[in-house]
Structure 1
């Protein structure tokens, strides 16, 4: 049997417990140094650098300066290349995602009378240009296209573009193009990795600069976002996949093993833990893993075994359910499954998780492919301060204020006192009787 990492939590010291919380992108110092020259090359050389990096990093000989942008004909051809059942699944997920995010959309403007004659509120307007990063290195992900483009289009962003790595022949994944068009996005660029983030930050002859970039990616993409955070809005921190499967003693351990493999198979840099206070569940899961590996493709077995036998995955056996809650809240996972016949009994004790999937019929697969809530989620413990990608990530909020002549004296009097206290003479004059001399 493959030597799956098994941690008896009570036997770990503080340093060992802290090590369980670390993600693969926790230390990006080495990657950042490699990314810096990539960004500088794109800034100074534009399309020429993008073509060179497509060849060097994506092994794509089919990309040149004339075809960095996907053509209408390529979109049309994609629908002929993708199986009808897959297109139907993309349509199904796209509809659910749009429906969910329509409910999130804030009203365009609201105002409240704070005091008689004094009104204040908010107005929401779409961000004018956003780039959506869709990874490809370890597979093809039309689901990421669905998740990122859905809320962007619901929000009404007028300029939406997708950046995604090209294949060796210079094409873009056909299902990704299908998902883009079904969502209403017609601009797709054949560029990935750190160079894609740089391209949408600075712009090139082909690629228009964007105000914001969203979407998950490798440590190289995460590093580029950090370096370019002063040039464009880099959105929520979304790195390699991670999940915690929490199981109580009411479920079969083999089910926990089945779901533990979902996020673990994304790549060797993923993180995945089964957390349980039931030794029976832990041992059943351990015994069931080889049977599931036997049904998976060789590549995904390789990824998931690397995760589950390494330092970013495995099984954590706690002493009691409260200790499981504490571990989950400290870990703050991207994906959390609560496997229990009574999942709501546990929900109230868990506050630090970005996506929480309840019960034995809600695996991460359902969330990833179109239940409706967004599956682009904060990683590396950022669930403590960030939520899932949403419509609000694609709009900006402006405060609105309006004071009438009747409401002015009360607010002006209080503002005048504070202005004088803080030493702002112009502030004070603007709300003094002097104002009435200049109002028509």
Structure 2
């Protein structure tokens, strides 16, 4: 379509066209799975040599098998070279992110009396290790360092490794290193893409094998995670950025256009929709987009333009609020912003979203960087069942049970009945008079 963005009317779409609007770039991973498979296999066989070779090939970075790890000198140079205001902003964000996740952290153990003399609960503790994937292809993302590493630290994970693509000179982005220090992490490795996922799944001479990998990434990363999912926990699905701006009649459509561009500028594989039932809002947004695109760099404007004029973005005018809400819930976006003077009135209607940002003063920018909640969110519709990255992703629960002498008879009696019904003789015998003979002894 002509103009700065697709302008679609939901009432005029066929069922197939509506389904296409709900699709994302990561919906068809077939080509990526096919190409990532030999990369994963090579890293499993050759270790550091394969990681370095693919990093030279794909990132055009002069790395070798013996210099994949960031050094103390790299950290010192990063601290000196980074502008003071950036360092201060990273420290500000780190404090908020830490506070949010500390408040989120559950108690280490709870034990409640389920029935007289019978107690059950959970013991909650950290996993042993995690790899945090920090993308770089379309920019540098110190925020992703903090969003993945800080909750892991708060959870108590002892071994945290960062994998991130190096720049053309083979170095790690300075802000990424400073953010890693703010998060208390020093193990950083210069690799990204499918080779980085494989490296932390299998382990190499330099890069440790980890129990889990978290963090957003390209379809290459998503594909590689699927290929190694039987040997490493691949965490919350987090692919290319996606957002929906829902706007009602109380807001200026130009503000909706301004916020629509936030996630659209991440890359051509992003998804971004303005969904509204108010024609004036939709038209004002469409008219404002060219002005805001001119305020962006050519690269970012090109990304946003590709998204908004492609199959994964634009302006969707709905016949009424109910159909707009239904589309949003079917889409299950990573980011949902409710643009309204009274956003809390709309909040109960939205069931599926990775995060929901309320009102005119809460653009995704704040959520992505400094507000505190995690910006690693489920994508590709996974917000229907998955949750944002949190301290819970770095912890595991162990169920605890304790039955006293006084509580045992009542539970044993009922358990014996169920065991007999299900045909488990040993289960039944263990709570039969046979047990009481040995307890008395």
Distance 1:3 1:136 in 2: 27
Q: CA deviation at 1:273?
A: 0.3
CA distance in 1, matches of 2:92, 2:261: 25
Corresponding residue number in structure 2 for 1:250? 250
Alignment correspondent of 1:282: 282
Q: Does 1:190 align with 2:190?
A: yes
- 2: CA distance, partners of 1:396 / 1:5: 45
Alignment of 1:140-159 (within 5 A): 140-159=140-159
Measure the CA separation in 2 of the matches of 1:4 and 1:129: 44
SS in 1 for 2:179: helix
CA distance in 2, matches of 1:2, 1:41: 46
Corresponding position: 1:408 with 2:408: yes
Structure 1 residues 165-176: aligned runs within 5 Å: 165-176=165-176
The CA deviation string for residues 21-49 of structure 1, in whole angstroms up to 9 with x for no partner, is 00001000111000000000000000000
1:401 and 1:150 mapped to 2: Cα distance?
32
Deviations, residues 412-433 of structure 1 (Å, cap 9, x unaligned): 1111111111111111111111
Pairing 1:31-46 to 2, within 5 Å after superposition: 31-46=32-47
Q: Which aligned segments of 4 or more residues in structure 1 are displaced greater than 3 angstroms?
A: none
Q: Give 1:241 deviation, angstroms.
A: 0.1
Alignment of 1:299-338 (within 5 A): 299-338=299-338
Match of 1:5 in 2: 6
Q: Measure, in 2, the Cα distance between the counterparts of 1:49 and 1:391.
A: 33
- TM-align CA RMSD: 0.9
The equivalent residue for 1:294 is: 294
Cα offsets for 1:89-109 (capped at 9, x unmatched)? 000011000000111101000
CA separation in 2, counterparts of 1:181 and 1:435?
56
Q: Using the alignment, how far apart are the partners of 1:37 and 1:137 within structure 2?
A: 21
Q: Where in structure 2 are the equivalents of 1:257-276 lying within 5 Å?
A: 257-276=257-276
Query: 2:226 aligned with 1:226, yes or no?
Result: yes
3-state SS in 2 of match to 1:373: coil
Aligned-partner Cα distance in 2 for 1:438–1:345: 63
C-alpha distance in 2, partners of 1:212/1:87?
A: 29
2: CA distance, partners of 1:306 / 1:357:
25
**Secondary structure at 1:25 match in 2:** helix
2:42 counterpart of 1:58: no
Per-residue CA deviations over 1:261-310 (Å, capped at 9, x if unaligned) read 00000000000000111111111111111111111101101100000010
**Structure 2 Cα separation of the partners of residues 37 and 31 of structure 1:** 11
What does 1:101-140 align with in structure 2 at a 5 Å threshold? 101-140=101-140
Measure the CA separation in 1 of the matches of 2:198 and 2:96.
32
Partner residue in 2 for 1:349 = 349
Instruction: Give ranges in structure 1 of 5+ residues lacking alignment.
Output: none
8 Å contact from structure 2 (residues 6, 315) kept in 1: yes
**Alpha-carbon distance, 1:3 to partner:** 4.4
**Counterpart Cα distance in 1 of 2:266 and 2:205:** 34
Cα distance, 1:322 vs. partner? 1.1
- Match of 1:201, SS state, is helix
The corresponding residue for 1:21 is 22
What secondary structure, in the 3-state scheme, does the structure 2 residue paired with 1:348 have?
helix
DSSP 3-state at the match of 2:131: strand
Partner of 1:76: 76
- So what's the TM-score if we normalise by structure 2? 0.98
- How many residues align? The count is 439
Question: Which structure 2 residue ranges, 5 or more long, are not aligned?
Answer: none
CA displacement, residues 377-417 of structure 1 (integer Å, 9 cap, x when unaligned): 00011000011100000000010001111111111111111
SS at match of 2:353: coil
| CA offsets 1:47-85 (integer angstroms, 9 cap, x no match) | 000110011010012x11221111111112111111100
Q: Distance in 1 between matches of 2:370 and 2:202?
A: 33
For 2:241, the equivalent position in structure 1 comes to 241
Structure 2 partner of 1:366: 366
Q: Distance in 1 between matches of 2:224 and 2:407?
A: 50
* CA distance in structure 1 between the aligned counterparts of 2:156 and 2:197, rounded to whole angstroms: 22
Offset at residue 314 of structure 1 (A): 0.3
Supply the distance in 1 between the matched residues of 2:4 and 2:70 (Cα, whole angstroms).
45
User: How far is 1:232 from its partner?
Assistant: 0.6
Q: Secondary structure at the match of 2:352?
A: coil
Q: CA deviation at 1:438?
A: 2.7
